[in-house]
Structure 1
């Protein structure tokens, strides 16, 4: 049960609404006011500026909305499976007296759909995206159609509608291949990584294993042949794909191999983001999970304490409470009841204080496990 709940937390931390990465990692995309849709292919290593889940540009969606009821400022990212920064950067100060072109109307509608997704208004966003798709088809914008399809796929992934997302992603890949992209294109590899991850979440472990193996091999070759100053996006995808692959190996009981992958992912993201970044919280927790399964409790505790220290530095009180509960579960596994109870009670207090249901749930699970152990 303890390992099951640890894995549950791993999924919590690395689900589609993953914890945000630093806003500083956002890449805004230059775009002229002419709204030439042929320029949507920005060459950023993603599908028309769209970022994959847990990759690249993010900001806390809830905080973003609470701080201002108006749309987020230019360059702000979304905690989604794509980057809103791209769409926001399409807009300059528009001339209100000038009538919008069909292309500009399409871009404006896409921007509104992204804002709806930021605010968890998924049904409304999907309606807007279907309207945007019809608009793109009406003006025969090949790139615009592909862009909207990719947002639709990422929205379905965000909503855990995995079969739907996979089908749309397959259509996006067909369109990219038709435009001349190859299997080694970063855009194709982004989608491949997401499909492999969704397969793992659905229990299709063999399909997921093959997908991750294929993707990582090609990412490795890309990095070998790419100038170092241009490989940041590929490194991000490489590290985070390794993290997802590690989760798959955990499900297969390959704990040592998973731990090694998590550590490689951690080192890559440190290289890309620096030592203080929220993506590392996810991976440090995954490393601790692997150590617990290997019954290496000292390393598990050390890793969790490092993650908690990072959470404090980032002022991420939400994750601090959950990590505190996980530390209590490690103490429980060691038979240190007093330390376990103290850690889990503190986690419960942190959860209550900051109204975080996930921290409360994990803390209550820990306290119930302690009670069961004492009664047993």
Structure 2
């Protein structure tokens, strides 16, 4: 989640629900572009239609690539054994790459992914190709290599659509959302707006159409995943609108996202708490300080109760809104609490910002 007052709190509706998704670890606007990753050109190969499992090609589903035919001879068995060995090598490479990403070793992860892609092409393992492209795209996105991330996401989407996947499939929507975020970061506003609106309208129509389907046709899990994906899209669009200085429109999107999070995840879920704070931000940006305070106070109270992992950032929002309400003594107290929490987390960036805001608060209070 993201806000005007402070940087992203991270976290996403789908990550909170346990889905494997894009953008789960990536900030909305990646930092300055680093060195460009090697670009890989997608080949026009058609792929068997992927399954409808939750999320964008979860690791286990993606690696259960295809069933083996019955034994029809020694030569075929040898070929299958060789394919199995190659498949095992690819799996190990993908696991190593994901571990390197988790350890914040992007260069190492990129090298490993290129090895995995080479093996996937060599063995014509199309689902492995798709999954590797997706990991490479997410890695480029996290590193702020937006041009390359765009090309890799489009390559992934091309394979999926070429294999018969429909545009309304959640996997396509997730990639479309990432592309919209890239366009927003590049100030390609026409494309960003079209992307966000496509994702939201497509999901809303899909949810309405599938509402009455029985569980033997569409599972509860699939319905929940689609609903949470809509919440993620609403959140991303709200963030875009807020940074585009359209806080009233952002407010409506956050209200919808909050409703989904409360319904699907519960009032005390970390994601719901973050959305409460985000909604407060949009109200604060409109000068509605008293209304903003109600939401941010609730968010910070709940965050304390559950020991929210980003409590210091939520408290920082509360302090900022208190300062806007000219409640300087209260604001100072909350800023000091936020500083203590940030120090415990060793969040150096937040520590620096909080100290700067305390200095600003001190200047304001001396003018009274």
Same fold (TM over 0.5): yes
Contact 2:117 2:129 in 1 (8 A): yes
Q: Report the Cα offset of residue 170 of structure 1.
A: 0.8
What residue number does 1:289 align with?
Answer: 281
Instruction: Show structure 1 runs of 4+ deviating over 4 A.
Output: 17-22, 84-90
What residue number does 1:150 align with?
Answer: 134
Q: 1:144 to 1:85 in 2, by over 3 A?
A: closer
Pick from 4, 12, 15 the counterpart of residue 8 of structure 2. 12
Q: 1:21 to 1:276 in 2, by over 3 A?
A: farther
The one of the two structures with greater contact order (alpha-carbon pairs below 8 A, sep at least 6) is 2
What residue number does 1:265 align with?
Answer: 257
Question: 2:165 & 2:175 partners in 1: Cα distance?
Answer: 13
Q: Report the Cα offset of residue 257 of structure 1.
A: 1.6
List aligned pairs for 1:131-150, cutoff 5 A: 131-150=115-134
Q: Report the Cα offset of residue 132 of structure 1.
A: 0.1
Mapped pair 1:302 → 2:294: yes
List aligned pairs for 1:62-211, cutoff 5 A: 101-211=85-195
Mapped pair 1:43 → 2:52: yes
Contact 2:339 2:351 in 1 (8 A): yes
Q: 1:120 to 1:221 in 2, by over 3 A?
A: same
Question: 1:7 & 1:112 partners in 2: Cα distance?
Answer: 37
Question: 1:233 & 1:275 partners in 2: Cα distance?
Answer: 18
What residue number does 1:94 align with?
Answer: none
Question: 1:344 & 1:336 partners in 2: Cα distance?
Answer: 12
Pick from 312, 316, 333 the counterpart of residue 324 of structure 2. 333
Question: 2:62 & 2:347 partners in 1: Cα distance?
Answer: 31
Question: 1:349 & 1:88 partners in 2: Cα distance?
Answer: 44
Mapped pair 1:25 → 2:18: yes
Question: 2:251 & 2:171 partners in 1: Cα distance?
Answer: 28
Q: Report the Cα offset of residue 202 of structure 1.
A: 3.0
Contact 2:137 2:149 in 1 (8 A): yes
Structure 1 residue ranges without an equivalent (≥5)? 28-37, 50-83, 91-97
Question: 1:337 & 1:184 partners in 2: Cα distance?
Answer: 50
Q: 1:13 to 1:353 in 2, by over 3 A?
A: closer
Question: 1:200 & 1:298 partners in 2: Cα distance?
Answer: 31
Q: How many residues align?
A: 316
- TM-score normalised per structure 1: 0.76
Structure 2 residue ranges without an equivalent (≥5)? 21-46, 66-80, 215-219
Q: 1:343 to 1:47 in 2, by over 3 A?
A: closer
Q: Report the Cα offset of residue 86 of structure 1.
A: 5.8
Question: 2:63 & 2:86 partners in 1: Cα distance?
Answer: 18
Contact 2:97 2:110 in 1 (8 A): yes
Contact 1:20 1:279 in 2 (8 A): no
Contact 2:13 2:228 in 1 (8 A): no
Question: 1:301 & 1:122 partners in 2: Cα distance?
Answer: 40
Q: Report the Cα offset of residue 301 of structure 1.
A: 1.5
Q: 1:8 to 1:167 in 2, by over 3 A?
A: farther
